[in-house]
């Protein structure tokens, strides 16, 4: 289990040597620093906390500064935890660079999806809406029935409907690493990644590879 934090740069296309083209997402990943090591004995589970992206000291609170000082790492904007099977092999202040991953490896990428606001059922769940013709009015994007009547007398919890869409944590599994360049802090994965360009993403070894 390996992981790194990064910022989504955008999508482009890469040609391989045979001339085939692949859609890839470019991620500016790392360098990350280990800011805390959590062990089964002391914390109840194994994990490392990693920080990413240097930032001016005035942008952080005293609590954050003190925490980072303990690990003797630069001032970092983001701090995230990565659960591990074992904390062994990681020490405070360790640097994680893009080359923790190799080309061809499968990874899961987690990000915060683009927010769509309060969306109707047609956009959010792919409801078909009502008929467009035959005398319909105000029914074109209606969700239809939400359930039976007097019995049971209420809408079942979890029924699909309108509501907040996007702006939520999303993980895309099993994306192939297409390109790694530790010098430029670059990782490119084949396929799309949640969130807007410049959004924070977490890249981890695929859980279900």
Q: Which residues bind other proteins (CB under 8 A)?
A: 9-10, 12-15, 17-19, 21, 26, 28, 179, 184, 186, 188
Nearer to other proteins, 14 or 122 (CB): 14
Q: Around Cβ 148, how many Cβ atoms within 10 Å?
A: 11
Tokens (6 digits) for 124: 């959010």
Give the integer Cα–Cα distance in Å for 189 and 177.
4
DSSP 156: P
Nearest residue to 81 (alpha-carbon basis) of 198, 168, 3, 170: 3
For residue 31, whether the previous peptide bond is cis, meaning omega lies within 30 degrees of 0, is: yes
At its nearest, how many Å lie between other proteins and the CB of residue 82? 24
At its nearest, how many Å lie between other proteins and the CB of residue 29? 11
Sorted by sequence, the CB contacts under 8 Å of residue 61 that are 6+ apart come out as none
Nearer to other proteins, 174 or 197 (CB): 197
For residue 152, whether the previous peptide bond is cis, meaning omega lies within 30 degrees of 0, is: yes
Nearer to other proteins, 7 or 90 (CB): 7
Contact of 51 with 73, CB cutoff 8 Å: yes
């Amino acid at each position: 289990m390996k992981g790194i934090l990064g910022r989504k740069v955008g999508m482009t296309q890469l040609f391989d040597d045979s001339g085939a083209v692949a859609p890839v997402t470019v991620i500016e990943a790392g360098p990350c620093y280990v800011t805390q090591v959590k062990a089964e004995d002391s914390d109840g589970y194994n994990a490392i906390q990693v920080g990413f992206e240097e930032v001016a000291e005035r942008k952080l609170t005293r609590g954050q500064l003190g925490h980072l000082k303990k690990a003797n790492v630069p001032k970092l904007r983001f701090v995230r935890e990565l659960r591990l099977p074992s904390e062994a092999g990681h020490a405070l202040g360790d640097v994680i660079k893009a080359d923790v991953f190799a080309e061809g490896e499968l990874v899961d990428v987690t990000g915060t999806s683009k927010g769509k606001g309060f969306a109707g059922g047609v956009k959010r769940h792919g409801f078909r809406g009502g008929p467009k013709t035959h005398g319909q009015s105000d029914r074109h994007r209606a969700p239809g029935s939400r359930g039976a009547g007097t019995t049971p007398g209420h809408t079942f919890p979890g029924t699909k409907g309108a509501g907040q869409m996007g702006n939520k944590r999303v993980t895309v599994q099993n994306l192939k690493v297409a390109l790694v360049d530790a010098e430029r802090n670059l990782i490119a994965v084949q396929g799309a990644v949640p969130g807007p360009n410049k959004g924070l993403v977490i890249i981890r070894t695929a859980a279900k590879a």
